[in-house]
A and B are shown apart, each in its own frame.
Chain A
């Protein structure tokens, strides 16, 4: 096992031993269930103002897509920030950072392990939410072909493939938020400040996107990339937003990570 893999394995073990991990993960899977229960209780065709909302009761496969829309505003950014903002700061605060930095692992290896664990958590969050949403929706409304955003009917098997691809693309902006959280966690050494700061950053990206006069650069805001999966649900598939999400999110991921990495490598680890 490589050094980074060892660190990564223990970062996952640490996450699995902490309540906040389950709090976030629990919230991510409970929200789609609550969403379905509320819609089952309610009558009507809504929500009609969100992508695929009007087809929600036609097939359970529409549920995760609609939940993705709602959770992108602050739900998933908050859950992501809970872990990303804490992963270095809590170790600084508890003094365990100096414990692991005085062993036989380089700082870069430790940082890489923490980064991989943060991203793993983000991926698990999104896919767990998608899976539970699809299951809950299927229980409520059955497993039927999906109607795409272009109005065409997509067979069940293909719809599941599109859901997986959409979740994968949805992870990208969330990884940008996670990278920002990791940077704040490294620089501020304060969990609360990092979590709140990361959430504020995510909300700011959303807010700027809805302000008038921001049309010229709206496509390059992090919040906009939460809609990139719409491209998969058009017929034929529109790859432009997906490709843009890839490179735009790469910038939102790489820049804070470089900053965090450099700080982590050089920072003094003294009493916090």
Chain B
């Protein structure tokens, strides 16, 4: 396997007539990442993944997996790569075991010897001889993971793997992704479930109307909305006056019975001492952090004023 990054998309464009589904997308997934690809429905996530897997041809730009382009290198570009888009699909009239045998034969190598192991991993061994047509949605999702693991992948591309699963199925799927990541598999996870991404991913890209509006570390994204604090106290007016006079504390406001302000950590530490010395009782002094949901909505909502302001703040 080359030293090239697992995923490198450059100026990727997909047009369907007048509609631009993906618009000059640049995306880099590094080894070991659990990379969240976030966006509202119809933003271009699945189209991007289809181009990465060679299922559709980009109108412009290139997509490379470990340095190989599926358009140029064909199936060889998928060496070490597995996954599914829009949910895994199988032959309903064949058993799960037979479906996996088919795919293992397509893959060649020692894939066939791994069938029992991967079925065990996704807890489908007892139902392996049932026709897939009789499987529940969750079982098919798990079988999709099993089919991917047959390829001993270094990169997993998963398109909304928990969609349609019940809460315990979602938890199991996330545990599985976590376990695979711990084994060194790079994961590109497309999702619109923010809790899932927040829970699993170290890096994210957010796509809106076919364009990437943010790509970077998740913690950095969350930190862009940091710097705000709030104080809960019984002596609101005295506390407000003290805060306003304190060096390094700005934008002091009373919001819903609490004192809100902007400050860096040193200024907050000094303020807490000053409040104590002034004998102002504080029941809470907490940083105001925006949730990923807030940031996501700010980045992907239509162009009303607050959304634009959030986007500009994050991009800045």
Q: Which residues of A are found within 8 Å of B82, using beta-carbon distances?
A: 102
Question: In the bound complex, how far is the Cα of B97 from the Cα of A13, in angstroms?
Answer: 14
> By the criterion CB–CB under 8 Å, are A10 and B102 in contact?
yes
Size category, B interface: 20 to 34
B281 within 8 A of A: no
Partner of B55, one of A3, A101, A106: A101
Per the 8 Å Cβ criterion, residues 132-175 of B in contact with A are 147, 151
Q: Could you tell me if B94 and A17 are in contact, using CB atoms closer than 8 angstroms? A: yes
Q: Is A105 located at the chain interface by the 8 A CB criterion?
A: yes
Q: On chain A, which size bracket covers the interface? A: 20 to 34
Q: Counting CB contacts under 8 A, is A18 at the interface?
A: yes
- Decide if B75 touches A103 in the complex (CB within 8 Å): yes
Whether B78 pairs with A96 at a CB distance below 8 angstroms is no
Q: State how many angstroms separate the Cβ of B38 from the closest Cβ of chain A.
A: 20
Q: How far is the CB of B14 from chain A (nearest CB, A)?
A: 9
Residue of B nearest to A18 (CB): B93
Q: B184 on the interface (CB 8 Å rule)?
A: no
A-side binding surface: helix, strand, loop or mixed?
A: helix
Tell me, yes or no, whether B306 is within 8 Å of chain A by CB.
no
Given contacts A266-B57, A269-B55, A269-B56, contact A104 B90 (CB under 8 A): no
Contact A99 B105 (CB under 8 A): no
The reply to whether A99 and B55 form a contact with Cβ atoms under 8 Å apart is no
- What are the residues of chain B within 8 A of A18 when measuring CB–CB? 93
Contact B56 A96 (CB under 8 A): no
| Cβ of A218 under 8 Å from chain B | no
- The number of A-B residue pairs with CB atoms under 8 Å apart is 86
A78 to B53, CA, bound (A): 36
Q: Could you tell me the distance in whole angstroms from the C-beta of A41 to the nearest C-beta in chain B?
A: 39
CB neighbours of B90 from chain A (8 A): 96, 99
Interchain nearest-CB distance for A1 vs B (Å): 8
A86 to B310, CA, bound (A): 51
Residue of B nearest to A9 (CB): B105
Give A261 Cβ to nearest chain B Cβ, in Å.
14
Tell me the bound Cα distance from A101 to B74 in angstroms.
10
A106 to chain B, nearest CB (A): 5
For residue B82, which residue of chain A has the nearest CB?
A102
- Least CB separation from A17: chain B residue: B93
Q: Chain A residues near B91: list those with CB within 8 A.
A: 14, 17, 94, 96
A6-B75 Cα distance, complex, nearest whole Å: 16
| Chain B residue at minimal CB-CB distance from A6 | B105
Q: Verify A105–B89 contact, CB threshold 8 A.
A: no
Q: Is the CB of A98 within 8 A of B106?
A: no
Q: Are A98 and B55 in contact (CB under 8 A)?
A: yes
Query: Once the chains bind, are A99 and B147 in contact (CB under 8 Å)?
Result: yes
Cα A6 to Cα B92 with chains together (Å): 20
The answer to the question of B124 belonging to the interface, with a C-beta cut-off of 8 Å to chain A, is: no
Q: A155 at interface (Cβ–Cβ under 8 A)?
A: no
Within 8 A of A (CB), among B88-118: 88-94, 98, 102-103, 105-108
- CB atoms of B88 and A99 under 8 A apart: yes
Which residues on A sit within 8 Å (CB–CB) of B44? none
| Interface presence of A7 (CB below 8 A) | yes
A: which residues have CB within 8 A of B? 3, 6-7, 9-10, 13-14, 17-18, 94-96, 98-107, 266, 268-271
Would you give 19 A-B contacts (Cβ < 8 Å), ordered by A?
A6-B106, A6-B108, A10-B106, A94-B91, A94-B92, A96-B91, A98-B86, A99-B84, A99-B103, A99-B147, A100-B103, A102-B83, A103-B75, A107-B75, A268-B56, A269-B55, A270-B50, A270-B56, A271-B46
Task: Kindly list the 3 A-B residue pairs having the minimum CB-CB distance in the complex, ordered from nearest.
Answer: A95-B89, A268-B56, A103-B106
Known: A102-B84, A103-B75, A104-B78. 15 other contacts (CB 8 A): A17-B91, A17-B93, A94-B89, A94-B92, A96-B90, A98-B50, A99-B90, A102-B54, A103-B107, A103-B151, A104-B108, A107-B75, A266-B57, A268-B55, A270-B55
